[in-house]
A = this chain, B = another copy of it.
Amino acid sequence: MTSVPSGAPAPGAPVRLLLADDEHLIRGALAALLGLEDDLVVVAEAATGPEALAMARAHVPDVAVLDLQMPGADGVSVATSLRGELPGCQVLIVTSHGRPGHLKRALAAGVRGFVPKTVSAQRLAEIIRTVHAGNRYVDPELAADAISAGDSPLTAREAEVLEFAADGAPVAEIAERAALSPGTVRNYLSSAASKLGAENRHAAVRLARQRGWV
């Protein structure tokens, strides 16, 4: 659907890749498949966020392919760190569950590409070339979701309190953790729920999670 420049890669300079994903099966398989492409070479692999950062520092890849959810630190925070330390390294995020909010945060962190794991390896290779060339690529379906979901209507406090409520804690506990009066907490929860069109705070938490707003 999207046009990807299939320009000939510089023969003497293959694109150097960092692969980070906690699922060994996927990471290894991906490394093998991408390695088959003449113009791509996997120079480092990592299974956690911190490991990915360390590997990036050590090997200075051209493109970092990061899973969104990893132990330690997620793809977006790794991308933020990389942005500062290695400006020449482009970041591409790959994810199983594409939530609209994540895409937004990722782009804000300077990520150049965002794709679901439902793409084929062939397609991923093309996208890696696109990103390496300095262009952006965002999966059309995820982009559409993000646009239709829009921005979070929640204020800072509302989001904070909603997050504390995420594990089903009673209001009294939330109030203590947020250093607020119980009444205020109820108010925020109530307003957040009505903004999200939810019946109660628990449904609100579910919706906010779905849209990546917490």
Contact = CB atoms under 8 A, between A and B. Distances in A.
A30 B27 CA distance: 10
Q: How many copies does the complex hold?
A: 2
Interface in A158-188: 167-170
B117 A169 contact: no
Contacts of A24: 117-120
A168 B203 contact: yes
Interface string A112-151: 0000111111001000000000000000000000000000
A118 B23 contact: yes
A202 interface: yes
A75 to B, nearest CB: 15
A186 B195 CA distance: 28
Nearest to A94: B25
B120 A169 contact: no
B199 A25 contact: no
A25 B170 contact: no
Nearest to A117: B23
B203 A167 contact: yes
Interface string A14-39: 00000000111110111011000000
A25 B206 contact: no
13 contacts: A23-B96, A23-B118, A24-B120, A25-B117, A25-B118, A25-B120, A28-B120, A168-B198, A168-B201, A168-B202, A168-B203, A168-B206, A202-B202
